[in-house]
Structure 1
């Protein structure tokens, strides 16, 4: 895109849109940015190279492992760790580039994991996969702050997430809630905050903006212990929290593809309420309040409410957005709806319809075709769901789909006409 803009500069100067001086400054600005691109590429390839070297060493040792004596095995177990530490110390001492630090940190991260596994195998040290991953990540976390390494932070988050899944889900014979996951993620948060503060628009920040909500979404189900009925409410509250975080101006002013919180929150809310719109969902057993799931739900609700109050105090809530307040309505509905299933079913269907209409209005007001069609998709999804659990005739169902299709066409056509008239008025 930058190269296209530079090519257009002579034409802009010829048509007196900008002066030659401004064109020269724009060209110089983009040339400086292009000079920084090879460094980022070198960082990426350095990290990939370190991963491949580390994996290659592990494979070579594994292939010939049985032919070594115990002393030789021990030396080979610690050798990658020693080499990795030396390279890291060299990178810090000589104040090498970010590419050096990222590559050395990645190699040492792999070396730590391989050394733990090899020593445990050589000396038959008992343990399980979850404790192995936890030890690996705990020993690797200091590298994030010693090297200010984004690669190590990402690898650590992946390891923490896998640890939580191993402990909390049915991958092993004994499962429990992975409370240490929260502690480990909290240790990564300061690095994430630094990245947000100093590199708001960087690509690596976008990766963190997607990875954090993805990790939490995957792991939340591990905290469902006895009351699976409350798991739906927990996830709805979590997605509402993501959406409200994504609507904070710091994130909301960025491009949509960089705002993982807003996308996760919006899609998650829609998926959850569509699931709850089926009649059979509300025929669940009543839950009791003295349970772990209840406490988690209360915490998520309080955090959501606190964020809404803070946003209101800051003046961020200028327009009413049903998505942001949905957690309050659903919390009340969920507590009482299980007693009266027909009320819960009707209320949820009306809420889904209201969300679709609200989204369409937001898209129309902002002339955003993506948001507009997203609202139409919500209504289409609602109609599709009712296609499977109602006794309407196929003629009526067909007419509904025709009506929705015409709605897609007419709404986009009207929006396009308005946009063209708006452009024409700006020209004159």
Structure 2
């Protein structure tokens, strides 16, 4: 019996023929295709989520049922039940690959169930046969056994679980002062091809953006844990801005590929903004004045005392430079100015050797340029979000400078009221100017 073509697939196949036959205009065909594609994309994440939640709940339920009378069962029966559970999970994954390879719901659900089965088997076997171990060993075993599923079934949720599990395992060693750096980064690198593939093949999907936050947070925490002693002691004034710029550039790269915004851009901007505002104050530079040395001397000391950490620093700087060149043509002038913050911070650090006021002045000029350029770009491109963010940046900068000034409470109050009124009037003017574009 001939297999029937799904209705939506049949429609997409027939639309070009209808246009060639003159039954539909090209614009009408595009509207139909866009309508049903968006409808399918909107419904698909919901179906995937229900399948994933169903697999999670069923897996947890099976584990609870096994544990209800577990202590009363004989060892051979326990082993048989665990083998049956693992075999069932393997069969479900095989069925998903064989019959439902194109179904995200089947692949995600079966992979999730198999990870739960693996975790339950490891824990219950250890409890049954009194195998010594701790939570760190349990997490590492689960991650290593789950890694192949990521590539066999092409799943996002297991990637997320492995990322969090690997990060938790690594950070549990902080109290021991003996971090397994090579083991962590070796396993973490095995997760990156999946993320890179999704960036290149499916940049607009929710699952791709869903993976960004945990990978970024875990990698950032691991970088600080691995190189924190030397990085934060010596070259923090470059490392922290570069890490924030990497988040921002990564978000810009993803947006250029998917034509959609993402949380990495906002995270990078927030970190850059906070650092710039903090060091636009004289008191911030006075706090670090006793530690201030030329950056070349700081780098020399780090190279001599922490050669391995220096390699990590070199990789971080090369990643920043490579991403900057990779998205150079896609960035607007405002984005280039955001990305220049590490260089501005390096200049300010060197100026602080002479006078902390000079370093603060440079950062105030930088923030003012960000606000003014943001207003100009927002007006030119009619970007309401850019206008709002730039206005907020200028308002915070002005308020901070009034707080620094030697003025009475009456003077500060009147100044704040004047600035607030000016921004309200500006907002009304911008709303009227942008209204025709919004109505059209």
In the alignment, structure 1 residue 289 sits paired with structure 2 residue 302? yes
- Worse overlay, 320-329 or 291-300: 291-300
Alignment partner, residue 48 of structure 1: 53
Name the residue aligned to 1:264.
Answer: 267
> 1:16 corresponds to which residue?
none
Query: What is the CA-CA distance between 1:252 and the residue it aligns to?
Result: 7.0
Deviations along 1:330-383, one digit per CA (max 9) or x if unpaired, are 234346636754433333333333323332332222211211111122233334
Match of 1:319 in 2: 333
The C-alpha deviation readout for 1:114-170, integer Å capped at 9, x for no partner, is 222222333333334333222211211111111111222222222233233333xx4
Change in Cα spacing, 1:342 to 1:49, as seen in structure 2 (3 Å) is same
- Aligned equivalent of 1:122, options 108, 128, 147: 128
Seen in structure 2, the aligned counterparts of structure 1 residues 142 and 122 have a Cα distance that, compared at 3 Å, is: same
Counterpart of 1:255 in structure 2 is 260
Give the aligned partner of residue 191 of structure 2: 188
Contact 2:111 2:158 in 1 (8 A): yes
Q: 2:228 aligns with which of 225, 229, 235?
A: 225
Q: Equivalent of 1:308, from 324, 347, 351?
A: 324
- Report the counterpart of residue 11 of structure 1 in structure 2: none
Asked whether the 8 Å contact 1:137–1:156 carries over to 2, the reply is: yes
Whether the 8 Å contact between 1:301 and 1:327 is mirrored in structure 2 is no
Pairwise CA distance, 1:103: 0.8
Kept in 1: contact 2:276–2:367 (CA 8 A) = yes
Secondary structure at the residue paired with 2:229?
Answer: coil
Q: Aligned ranges for residues 13-52 of structure 1 at < 5 Å?
A: 22-23=27-28, 26-27=31-32, 29-31=34-36, 33-34=38-39, 39-52=44-57
What secondary structure does 2:333 align onto? Answer: coil
Say whether 1:202 aligns with 2:205. yes
Distance 1:32 1:249, change over 3 A: closer
1:187 Cα deviation after fit = 1.8
Worse overlay, 37-46 or 334-343: 334-343
C-alpha displacement at 1:102, in angstroms?
A: 1.4
Give the distance between the partners of 1:123 and 1:385, measured in 2 at CA: 64
TM, length-normalised to structure 2: 0.78
Q: Secondary structure, in 3 states, of the residue corresponding to 1:248?
A: helix
Give 1:240 deviation, angstroms.
0.7
- Measure the CA separation in 2 of the matches of 1:35 and 1:310: 33
For residue 109 of structure 2, what is the aligned residue in structure 1?
A: 103
> For 2:71 and 2:354, how far apart are their aligned partners in 1?
64
Alignment correspondent of 1:8: none
Change (3 A) 1:183 1:77: same
* Residue in structure 1 matched with residue 17 of structure 2 by the alignment: none
Cα distance, 1:300–1:333 mapped onto 2, change above 3 Å: farther
Match of 2:409 in 1: 394
Q: Indicate the RMSD between aligned Cα atoms, in angstroms.
A: 3.4
d(CA) in 2 for partners of 1:91, 1:421: 52
Q: Does 1:373 align with 2:388?
A: yes
CA distance in structure 2 between the partners assigned to 1:252 and 1:407 by the alignment: 39
Specify whether residues 92 and 423 from structure 1 end up closer, same or farther in structure 2 by C-alpha distance, changes over 3 A only.
closer
Q: Are 1:367 and 1:419, in contact at CA under 8 Å, matched by a contact in 2?
A: yes
Q: Against the structure 1 CA distance between its residues 234 and 66, is the aligned structure 2 distance closer, same or farther, given a 3 Å change threshold?
A: farther
Match of 1:419, SS? Answer: helix
Q: What is the rounded CA distance, in whole Å, between the counterparts of 1:74 and 1:174 in structure 2?
A: 38
Gaps of 5+ in 2: 1-23, 293-297
Query: Aligned residue for 2:219?
Result: 216
Question: Which sits farther off after the overlay, 32-41 or 363-372?
Answer: 32-41
Alignment match, 1:58: 63
**Residues 420 and 281 from structure 1, CA distance in 2 versus in 1: closer, same or farther, beyond 3 angstroms?**
closer
Aligned-partner Cα distance in 1 for 2:364–2:117? 53
Alignment partners' CA distance in 1, 2:132 and 2:147: 24
Aligned to 1:347: 362
Q: How far does residue 329 in structure 1 lie from its aligned partner after superposition?
A: 2.1
Distance 1:68 1:417 in 2: 75
TM-score (norm 1): 0.80
Match of 1:134 among 132, 136, 140: 140
Offset, 1:270: 0.8
Task: Report SS of the residue matched to 1:411.
Answer: helix
Which digits, 9 at most, give the CA deviation of each residue in 1:208-245, with x for residues without a partner?
34443333344333234324344464232111122223
Partners of 1:232 and 1:272 within 8 A in 2: no
Structure-2 separation of matches of 1:180 and 1:407: 57
Distance 1:263 1:86 in 2: 43
